């Protein structure tokens, strides 16, 4: 009876080294209807529908072009030759700290398209916003690639341009293809870090410092 219990324990993959461990690398070697040959952390496995590998990799569907594979509860589509080298654990948080200035606002130095720029956090701005002069300094060709729009400001309506910025970086956090507006004239005096950037982070106000964490 004791030996039988030990066999059941091993069959369930409990306490047996190598079973159910985190997968760090998957490479799709060959694809067939309802099966796929993959390398899991360097070990070749033939995956069949509904039958997990010893590492817990599960084939959901497959044809000659692609396969849907589940790892640690997460499903992704893999094509022939796909090579993913990553652990499936949650990555470390990418953060930025922004300190409160003498006027009570949160102000920082970041970069847009690789150029250093002063930024003021503004959750009331729907997008990153800047004046025309700053846009020219940053190489934003708003008159050529932007879309003309009217912008509501504290002093009334103003003409502006809707654009997309290649890169916006604050601290360790960098996002690509960030929507922005360029306002004709000299306002705002500082670049406003608006919601087109901020909606992609979580914010924690600690009184003297604002902590931003990139969402995954």
pLDDT digit string (tens) for 132-183?
Answer: 999 999 999 999 999 999 987 766 788 999 999 999 999 989 999 999 999 9
What whole-number distance in Å separates Cα of residue 136 and Cα of residue 172? 25
Superfamily in which the 95-214 domain is placed by CATH: Acid Proteases (2.40.70.10)
Confidence band (pLDDT; 50, 70, 90) for 85? low
What whole-number distance in Å separates Cα of residue 211 and Cα of residue 213? 7
> Which fold is adopted by the domain 18-85?
SH3 type barrels. (2.30.30)
DSSP state of 105: S
What whole-number distance in Å separates Cα of residue 189 and Cα of residue 185? 10
Which tens digit of pLDDT belongs to each residue from 44-78? 889 999 899 888 889 999 998 888 888 877 888 88
Confidence band (pLDDT; 50, 70, 90) for 13? very low
Sequence spans of domains, the chain: 18-85, 95-214
155, burial (CB in 10 Å: exposed 0-12, middle 13-18, buried 19+): exposed
């Amino acid at each position: 009876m004791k030996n039988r219990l030990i066999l059941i324990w091993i069959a369930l993959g409990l306490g047996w080294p190598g079973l159910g461990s985190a997968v760090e690398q998957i490479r799709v070697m060959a694809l067939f209807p309802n099966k796929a040959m993959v390398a899991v952390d360097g070990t070749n496995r033939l995956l069949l529908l509904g039958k997990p590998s010893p590492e817990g990799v599960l084939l959901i569907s497959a044809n000659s072009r692609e396969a849907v594979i589940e790892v640690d509860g997460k499903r992704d589509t893999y094509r022939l030759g796909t090579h993913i080298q990553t652990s499936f654990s949650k990555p470390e948080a990418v953060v930025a700290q922004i300190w409160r200035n003498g006027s009570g606002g949160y102000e920082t130095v970041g970069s847009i398209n690789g150029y250093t720029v002063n930024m003021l956090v503004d959750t009331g701005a729907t997008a990153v916003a800047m004046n025309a002069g700053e846009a020219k300094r940053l190489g934003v060709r708003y008159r050529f690639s932007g879309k003309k729009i009217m912008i509501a400001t504290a002093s009334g309506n103003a003409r502006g341009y809707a654009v997309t910025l290649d890169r916006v970086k604050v601290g360790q956090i960098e996002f690509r293809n960030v929507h922005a507006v360029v306002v004709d004239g000299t306002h705002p005096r500082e670049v406003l870090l608006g919601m087109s950037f901020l909606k992609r982070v979580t914010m924690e106000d600690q009184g003297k410092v604002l902590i931003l964490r990139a969402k995954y």
